[in-house]
Each structure stands twice: as structure tokens, then as C-alpha cells.
Chains A and B, each alone.
Chain A
Amino acid sequence: DIVMTQSPDSLAVSLGERATINCKSSQSVYYISNSKNYLAWYQQKPGQPPKLLIYWASTRESGVPDRFSGSGSGTDFTLTISSLQAEDVAVYYCQQYYSTPRTFGQGTKVEIK
């Protein structure tokens, strides 16, 4: 199984500042034939189910604010919140869908400093 490792486990950022979350996969999730990275990001607020933010490593889901962006390729990926808002307090998960079973990172908790 592909192991997904996120860093840091938690971070505190001031309102309006940038938050950066990293995700590393134990093997590449880049598929050469279609030039796509099989990597998604989710946001989970307390007491709620996960919400899809980004797929194909950098494609925002419909309705997701453009302050959320994804980047990276191969084994190293980043989720950036360009200007943290109060409603962004949540746990964020990366997930690979390159192979079965799909696997998730352990999560990164984002709080307000």
C-alpha cells in the first residue's frame, strides 16, 4: 500500500496569513500516460464529514474558494491557504488514488494563532 505522510501534524497561523501543508507519498502517484497526479485534498471541520477541496493535485472542486491551491508532482505535494480565514480552521487530509487501496495522510490540524 502507498503510505501518505503529512507535515506538520498541526500548525497555527494568524488570520490573513499563509498556511502551507505538505504531503509525501511512499511512491510516485504520477501516471505518465495521462500526465496526471492522482492526489486529492480534503477539509474536515469538527463533527462534519470530509469535504473535497482539490483533485488531480491542483484542480479545485467547484465552489472551493480560490485561496485554496494545490501543487506538486510525483511524491511531494503541497496544499496552500493563501490568506487564512476563521472558517478554515479544520483538519486537512491528502489522499492518493493511484492504487487500491486508496490511502490517506494522517491529517494536519490548522488553527488560528
Chain B
Amino acid sequence: EVQLVESGGGLVQPGGSLRLSCAASGFTFSSYWMSWVRQAPGKGLEWVANIKEDGSERYYVDSVKGRFAISRDNAKNSLNLQMNSLRGEDTAVYYCARDSTFGFYDNSGYSTFGDHWGQGALVTVSS
């Protein structure tokens, strides 16, 4: 059974940093692209970033470019999101998602859908 478990959420002041992690199990982690998707309180879903199977390619939504960094450790079956220069609008539940192997790959990135999702980690940016 595929399992994704996020950790590292919490309260942080504007301008601060936080690192999220996602522990994956139940599948061959190194064979899948992985994504982070967020959901502000009472709002819809927003894709944040994804990373290629071997970590050699990473793509971000414009609103987090230069502030967030996605990474992975295939030896530990772990996905990470380093979030710096946090803003109030970054307040959200952050979901780790396994990217499907069905997608569209071009020079802008790999676009697909999430076929398995974690329960999410709440990040609150407030003073």
C-alpha cells in the first residue's frame, strides 16, 4: 500500500524558514516524480513544485521560485521542501503527492496528476 507521511509543519514568522519532509513507502520511490501541492485554508489546490525521479530536474510555480527548494533522498525514500522567505500567503496545508507516470513532458516541465497523496502538513506564517 502506498503511504506518504508529511512532517515539519508549524508556525513561523514572516520572513522565516521551514523544512517539510515526506516519508514514502509501499512503492519504488526512485521510479516516480514527486510533487508538493498546497491548499490555503478554505481555498482550492495549488501545485507548488515537482522533482524528477533522480532529482536532476525540478520545477516550481512562479510564486515560490527563488524561495522554495524541492529535493529528495532516494536512499531514505524521502521528499523535502525547504521554504525560505515565507509570507502570509504561503499559509496552507502542504500535501506530498506521487506523480503519475502518465503526463506531458516538455522543456517547461513534467505535468501530470497526483495518484496518491499524503494527509498534509499545516504551515502557518504569522507574527
Chain A residues with CB under 8 Å of chain B are: 31, 38, 40, 42, 48-52, 55-56, 61, 93, 95-107
Given A38-B111, A49-B95, A99-B111; A104-B100 close (CB under 8 Å):
no
Taking the nearest CB of chain A, how far is it from the CB of B26, in angstroms? 15
Q: Type the 1/0 row for B91-127, where 1 means its CB is closer than 8 Å to any CB of A.
A: 0000100001011101011111111111110000000
Q: Determine whether the beta carbon of A52 is less than 8 Å from that of B108.
A: no
- Name the one of B45, B59, B61, B113 contacting A97, with C-beta atoms under 8 angstroms: B113
Given A56-B102, A93-B44, A97-B103; A49-B119 close (CB under 8 Å):
yes
Residues in A with CB closer than 8 Å to B110 are: 100
Instruction: Kindly state whether residue B47 has any CB partner on chain A within 8 Å.
Output: yes
Residues in B with CB closer than 8 Å to A42 are: 45
Interface of A is mostly: loop
Instruction: Kindly state whether residue B73 has any CB partner on chain A within 8 Å.
Output: no
- Name the one of B106, B111, B113 contacting A101, with C-beta atoms under 8 angstroms: B111
What are 24 A-B interface contacts by the 8 Å CB criterion? A38-B103, A38-B111, A42-B45, A49-B95, A49-B120, A50-B37, A50-B114, A52-B114, A52-B115, A52-B116, A55-B102, A55-B113, A95-B45, A97-B103, A97-B104, A97-B113, A98-B104, A100-B59, A100-B110, A101-B61, A101-B62, A104-B46, A106-B44, A107-B45
Residues in B with CB closer than 8 Å to A99 are: 104, 106, 108, 111
Q: Determine whether the beta carbon of A49 is less than 8 Å from that of B111.
A: no
Q: Determine whether the beta carbon of A105 is less than 8 Å from that of B44.
A: yes
Name the residue on B nearest A61 (C-beta).
B115
A40 to B103, CA, bound (A): 11
